[in-house]
Structure 1
Amino acid sequence: MQTLPITDNGSIASANGEPETTHPVLKFLAKLISYLFHPCFVPVYVVLFLVYEHPNMFVGFSPKNKILVVAQAFMMFSFFPIITTLLLKALKFIDSIQLPTQKDRIIPLIANMTWYFWIWHVWRNLPDYPKELVALALGIFAASIIAMLANIKFKISLHAIGVGTMVTFLVTIALQQSLHFAVYLSVAFIIAGLVCTARLISGSHNTFEVYTGFLAGVGAQLIANVVVLN
């Protein structure tokens, strides 16, 4: 059976060694998935799940307080990182808001580490907030540190880090709580597979950068779980 070679960027090559052309529909879907499950949005999705779908995580919170938790997550995980990136682009500190190079990522990663540290610090000092939420915030902060260090050597996939953190967090609470998480875990793994595949199809990363990113997300969340949940 003949196997197709792999190009330097991790994409499949044809029999003559030339990269296979990707269908425009697949490229569009890859971009759509990359936007929908951008690292700025994935933590907010997880918080929404904890607040409104988990049966007892926020059982003592009023509707107003639940909205406050989601708003805090959105501000620190989505709004401030996006605004920071847009400002850096406007001031010409970065060439593109998509951060295609390692150089472009340096300042945004440092800024995001600040936002992530702040929300973790705030949540851990609020006694009514569940420790699982604190573990999630710490995992995201730890993942940003790993991403910053890895960025010195190569362009690690931030999308893969995001879904790696998400999957590990959900697996952890599924193992620790006597609830039926099969559907949620299935959805999480499907999303992770789609996101990682999308990053390869779009040509934004090679397989090494995607796999390393996913493992970095897993490792960061495991560290956070040990620190907070044990």
Structure 2
Amino acid sequence: MSKKLARFISFVFHPLLMPTYAILLLINMNSYLAYSMPPELQRIVLGIIFFTTFALPFLMAMFYIQKGMVSNIYMVNAKERTLPYLTAAIFYFGGYYLLTQLPIPRLFSWVILAAAVSIIVASLINVKWKISIHMLGVGALGGLIFSLPQLMLIEVFRPFVLVILLAGIIGTARLVSGRHTIGQISAGYILGFTLEWLVLRYSDLLI
């Protein structure tokens, strides 16, 4: 894999985009989730998630760069990531709250809540060690798919295999780009997967 391709993959599967991809997956699966919301409500949900989990955190990151609080968009220095991560978590919690106010299945809001928790944990880890947030994102997507049979009694073998392959591609891209070590990549995936699964597994306790 060339470095140019690695950068492209890292951009397309940016961790801030993973919640949007996750919700798109849920909406397009052949389950009650696909039929429980009219198209207009689906667009509202996607709009809320896109703006609170991608657009607003990205704009704030640009603001921090402009003010010299962060050196660049890559945030190579792990300690630089703390403020943007915590800011993103605030927006994620805002998105979670907005989703709870809509007449939609609670799974959608739980997915965003799990993402917010993952970002907070990752920001704490990054104070001492640079964990891969790209792998955290795809790991959370894997944790979501792994949890679906318990939540909705549907078969997810093929989507789960595809996410495993995607994780391998993203992990390779991060290695080729020189952004992370194998340990940081593995830790990111395991953390994202575990936190997403735990939140969804015990989501009834959050009610």
Q: Same fold (TM over 0.5)?
A: yes
* Corresponding position: 1:206 with 2:181: yes
User: How far does the alpha carbon of each residue in 1:142-165 deviate from its partner, in whole angstroms, 9 at most, with x for none?
Assistant: 101111110111111000110111
> Is 1:99 aligned to residue 80 of structure 2?
no
1:191 maps to which residue? 166
Q: 2:146 aligns with which of 171, 174, 180?
A: 171
Q: Give the corresponding residue for 1:21.
A: none
Whether the 8 Å contact between 2:10 and 2:173 is mirrored in structure 1 is: yes
2: distance between equivalents of 1:208 and 1:57?
A: 36
Which among 65, 69, 72 is matched to residue 89 of structure 1?
65
Deviation at 1:223, TM superposition (A): 2.5
Instruction: Indicate the larger mover: 52-61 or 115-124.
Output: 52-61
Q: Which runs of 5+ in 2 are unaligned?
A: none
TM-score by length of 2: 0.92
Structure 1 residue 121 and structure 2 residue 102: aligned? no
Q: 1:54 to 1:138 in 2, by over 3 A?
A: farther
* Counterpart residue number, 1:41: 17
Alignment partner, residue 3 of structure 1: none
| Aligned-residue RMSD, C-alpha | 1.6
Q: Tell me the distance in 1 between the aligned counterparts of 2:52 and 2:184.
A: 26
> Shift of residue 175 of structure 1?
4.0
Conserved? CA contact 1:102–1:152, under 8 Å: yes
Distance 1:133 1:147 in 2: 22
Aligned length: 205
- Note the 1:205-224 alignment, pairs <5 A: 205-224=180-199
- What does residue 157 of structure 2 align with? 182
Using the size of structure 1 for normalisation, the TM-score is: 0.83
Question: Aligned with 2:16: secondary structure?
Answer: coil
Code of the aligned partner of 1:56: Y
| 1:50 aligned residue (26, 50, 68) | 26
CA contact (8 A) 1:156 1:210 kept: yes
Tell me the equivalent position of 2:125: 150
| Distance (whole Å) between structure 1 residues aligned to residue 147 and residue 178 of structure 2 | 32
Q: Does 1:26 align with 2:7?
A: no
CA contact (8 A) 2:147 2:201 kept: no
SS across alignment from 1:129: coil
Residue 54 to residue 115, structure 1, CA distance change in 2 (3 Å): farther
Deviation of 1:229 after TM superposition, in Å, equals: 4.5
Stretches of structure 1 lacking an aligned partner (at least 5 in a row)? 1-24
- Amino-acid identity (%): 23
Q: Which has the larger radius of gyration?
A: 1
C-alpha contact (below 8 Å) 1:135/1:229 kept by paired residues: no
Match of 1:70 in 2: 46
* Residue-by-residue CA offset, 1:23-62 (whole Å, 9 max, x unaligned): xx52122111111111011110111111233432141322
Residue pair 2:60, 2:84 contacting (<8 A) in 1 also = yes
In structure 1, the residue corresponding to 2:33 is in which secondary structure? coil
Looking at structure 1, the residues matched to 108 and 188 of structure 2 have their Cα atoms a distance apart, in angstroms, of 22
Deviation at 1:200, TM superposition (A): 1.1
